[in-house]
Amino acid sequence: MLRLKDLIQRDVVAVSPDLTLRELLDVFTEREVSGAPVVSGRKVIGVISMTDIFDFREDAAGASIESSAPIDDLESAPRKRRGAAASEFFSESWEAAEPGAVEWIKTTREGDWDLLDQYTVADAMTRNVVSQPSSATVKKAARYMLDAGIHRVLIIDDGELQGIVTTTDIVRAVAEGKLRS
């Protein structure tokens, strides 16, 4: 039976809880991701996504974003609240995560909003980490991902991040005849 360890992607963008939100956005922009696990040492202590940053911005008392460039429907973009599954950020592509996100990141440098420099990943991250062990069957993980409405799952063994498995990895396994019902 095929297990997650047979499909795992080990090259995962992971970030420190000590990064400022501005530094985090630089990482997201450079690596073209919309979220990442937050690790301290080798232990996953949370997840952070563009959605978390936008939610944090909304929740921060007295904080406002003023930008010189228009942002395509940023304020009306759908948002997931902190009560949702922590790994849901993996289900969204970079630009689909928040319409206008890339433009917003670029224009915040020009504004006077300094929340990005004053707060860290630890301040905005989701602490509820949802994961699967590498020994889980692909079928079990696929059911889990379908039920949770996510497209990628963190693979954690003994408290340490091993990598991720995506729906594309599972579809590829089916197409290559590696997974049979």
CATH number at 133 reads 3.10.580.10
Question: Is 41 contained in some domain?
Answer: yes
Q: List all residues 6 or more positions away from 131 whose beta carbon is below 8 Å from its beta carbon.
A: 44, 87, 153, 154, 155, 156
Q: List all residues 6 or more positions away from 74 whose beta carbon is below 8 Å from its beta carbon.
A: 98, 99, 100, 101, 104
**Average confidence (pLDDT) over 113-129:** 85
The model's pLDDT over 152-162, given as tens digits with 9 standing for 90+, comes to 789 999 888 99
pLDDT of 92 strictly over 90: no
Domain count, the chain: 1
**Considering Cα of 26, then 31, then 36, then 41, what sign does the dihedral take?**
negative
**Average confidence (pLDDT) over 25-36:** 89
Longest dimension (CA), the chain: 56
Residue 99 pLDDT level (bands cut at 50, 70, 90): low
Residue 96 pLDDT level (bands cut at 50, 70, 90): very low
Residue 181 pLDDT level (bands cut at 50, 70, 90): low
Question: Is 102 contained in some domain?
Answer: yes
**Average confidence (pLDDT) over 28-42:** 88
Q: In percent, how much of the chain has pLDDT > 90?
A: 36
Question: Is 147 contained in some domain?
Answer: yes
Provide the pLDDT for residue 33.
84
The model's pLDDT over 5-28, given as tens digits with 9 standing for 90+, comes to 999 989 899 999 999 999 999 999
Provide the pLDDT for residue 116.
84
Question: Is 181 contained in some domain?
Answer: no
CA distance 51 to 80: 7
The model's pLDDT over 42-72, given as tens digits with 9 standing for 90+, comes to 789 988 888 888 888 777 644 444 433 333 3
* Tokens (6 digits) for 99: 């319409």
Question: Is 45 contained in some domain?
Answer: yes
CA distance 103 to 69: 8
Range of the domain at 120: 4-175
Residue 102 pLDDT level (bands cut at 50, 70, 90): low
Question: Is 180 contained in some domain?
Answer: no
Question: Is 18 contained in some domain?
Answer: yes
